[in-house]
A = this chain, B = another copy of it.
């Protein structure tokens, strides 16, 4: 296994996140931030638990303009929250469908002063409480709710060194697991069995969880890559692709690798080289000051007009498998030191067949640094 950085964060990290958000709140005229989604609650508190998997209970974090965040959560989570830097922890006995924390949350919001409440309401956001309870909260608080998405993104876009170390660690774990693929799979193996072997290898190499594993296999390229694997056996001439979002201490990698089974046709080998070159083109210009759209354009140029590559070609990465910004036309987000991104060029290889490459990078003052171990230029044959 790869050497692991420390788990969790120093309190100073949460203080820095909170102070930055509070400065932006003040500028935006927002009294209080309210979070009900896992990444946001965790980002400002450190609350890490798989218990979110159960839809039964909502969890709230209230961030006033001054001081620490306040947790308003089901009693079952009090011990776990008490291990974080949060001190003010208010609990209710849940499940309680008649009042699933709404009264307690209303009282808390009133106490800290909340005429204008910021809640992520824009792109890529969700509401992890019932709409009925949200409407009730809107009525009981009488507050104006505004979109806090820009504030959260301004904080989360720039990863700290501690966050980068966690992402680098899970990238190293996945790189080690990808190196083992030639020993794990072979012609004749059902695709679903190959998935299972690779998922186990990721854990054996040190991943905490494998929330995301997709891929595909097909002669000279693959089609649909988001369906679960079937039991169809791998065949000579197939290109096999795994794309994994494994996690360590709550941080994700997200990259893929391609392998030819037994032999590779020239079209697949050529496509692999083209995707390698597209990634090189993006790596070369991925520096502070460049935009997400610039990176996308560089990859599209390298692939050429016949590649059909017009969709998103990468995105932010961190506490979630995919985060904003998006590497696509129209996303003018300017790269800055501390941003962690995926580069994900894809191209059409033939009718119903495509290939995708993906790497994970961090932006530094001097340019881009790989977090995933670079894929080879030549399509590996196993």
Contact = CB atoms under 8 A, between A and B. Distances in A.
Contact of A131 (B51, B54, B121): B121
A245 interface: yes
Interface in A172-201: 196, 199-200
Nearest to A199: B203
Q: Which 7 A-B pairs have the closest CB atoms?
A: A79-B224, A127-B127, A54-B322, A121-B131, A51-B226, A53-B212, A49-B226
A55 B320 contact: yes
B128 A49 contact: no
Given A56-B315, A130-B125, A203 B211 contact: no
B127 A131 contact: yes
Contacts of A128: 126
Contacts of A95: 123, 312, 326, 328
Interface in A113-164: 119, 121-132, 134, 145, 147
Contacts of A204: 196, 200
Interface in A362-376: none
A48 interface: yes
Contact of A321 (B54, B131, B199, B326): B54
Contacts of A124: 55-56, 130
B119 A130 contact: no
Contacts of A127: 126-127, 131
27 contacts: A48-B228, A49-B214, A49-B228, A51-B214, A53-B211, A53-B245, A54-B320, A54-B321, A55-B125, A55-B320, A55-B323, A56-B315, A79-B223, A80-B226, A80-B227, A93-B311, A95-B123, A95-B312, A95-B328, A97-B122, A119-B131, A122-B130, A127-B131, A131-B134, A131-B145, A196-B208, A200-B200
B83 A227 contact: yes
Given A95-B328, A203-B199, A311-B76, A126 B123 contact: no
A262 interface: no
Contact of A130 (B126, B210, B322): B126
A326 B97 CA distance: 10
A93 B312 CA distance: 10
Most buried by B among A121, A130, A323: A130
A115 to B, nearest CB: 19
B129 A126 contact: yes
A77 interface: yes
Interface string A81-123: 0010000000001010100100000000000000000010111
A223 B76 CA distance: 11
A213 interface: yes
A67 interface: no
B56 A322 contact: yes
